[in-house]
Amino acid sequence: MHHTRLLLTSLLVLFASASVGCALSIEKTFAVQPGSGFDMFFVTYDDPPLEYPNGRLTLDGGTVMTIDVSVDLVDYLDGTMDGDVTIGDLMFTATGLSFFGFQLGPLCIALAGPSGGSFEYQVLNQTAAFDVVVNTNAVMLDKTYMAFVGTDTFPFPFHMQAEMPLGLADALGLFAGTSEMTVSQDVDEQMIFGTGPTPIKVHILGTVNLITQDAFPTNTLIEQCIAEVST
């Protein structure tokens, strides 16, 4: 078992060392997959609070992550490769937002500040894990109903804690830029919409599925959101 672990680790380390010497930096573009989204519930101020279903947000868009993995054979004798993750770009669109029957139009979810975390690859178990805090704001694209929530921009953060199988061949391909990676993240968050003494409390519950691809995804709504958050 020890020899197997050392062999697998050495293959990865030798590959990375031959590529870049002491460090490996992997930039990957991830696209949101169909079916990603959140069920939304209004949360009352009762004790205990009550939750009322309020439709579903459907997600689209993508993000760019850079994974920086240090390459030191001594560090990897335990069969683990650790790295830092930086979110360089992100644009999600969310459609289906409503407020007591009023359709409020699309949301543009974009970076609001530095975002990132850690990446770990367990060589022997052949699993990869992300622990990434994503600091994002949501902006209402249609300002018609802005008075309902008091503002057109509000915090919409994510904490991505995901683990997935990643075989040795796929790991080598990931580092070489030739293989795909799929990340699935369950989200269960309480959020505050609006301002004032009694802002709207919302519970979102759902899943975000991301898969690597060559180019950042685009469509008319994504382009509108990019223009909105760039002004």
What average pLDDT is seen over the chain?
81
Least confident of 72-76, 94-98, 124-128, 202-206: 72-76
What DSSP string describes 132-197? EEE-EEEEES--TTHHHHT-SEEE--EEEEEEEE--HHHHHHHHHT-S--EEEEEEEEEEEES-SS
Domain ranges of the chain: 2-230
Query: Which H or E run includes 90?
Result: strand 80-95
Enter the pTM of the model: 0.81
pLDDT tens digits, 77-125: 566 778 899 999 999 999 988 776 777 789 999 999 999 999 888 877 8
In this predicted structure, what is the pLDDT of residue 122? 83
CB neighbours (10 Å) of residue 84? 15
